[in-house]
Amino acid sequence: MSHTTIATLMQMKKEGEKITMLTSYDASFTRVLEAAGVDSILVGDSLGMVIQGQESTLPVSVDDMVYHTRCVARGRRDALLIADMPFMSYSSADQALSTAGRLMKDGGAHMVKLEGGSMQLETVRQLTLNGIPVCAHLGLQPQSVHKLGGYRVQGKDEESAREIKEDAMALESAGAQMLVLECVPKALAAEISHLLTIPVIGIGAGVDCDGQVLVVYDMLGITSGRRPRFVKDFMPESGSVPAAVAAYVQAVKEKRFPTEEHSFQ
Could you list the active site residues? 182
Residue 178: strand, helix, or coil: strand
The residue among 16, 20, 11 whose CA lies nearest residue 257 is: 20
Report the alpha-carbon distance of residue 91 to residue 126 in Å, rounded.
13
Residue 154's alpha-carbon distances to 118, 171, 180, 184, in angstroms, are 16, 18, 13, 5
Residue ranges in the chain assigned as alpha helix (H): 6-15, 27-35, 47-50, 62-75, 93-105, 121-129, 145-148, 158-174, 186-195, 216-219, 241-253
| Rounded (10°) CA dihedral 80, 111, 14, 186 | 100
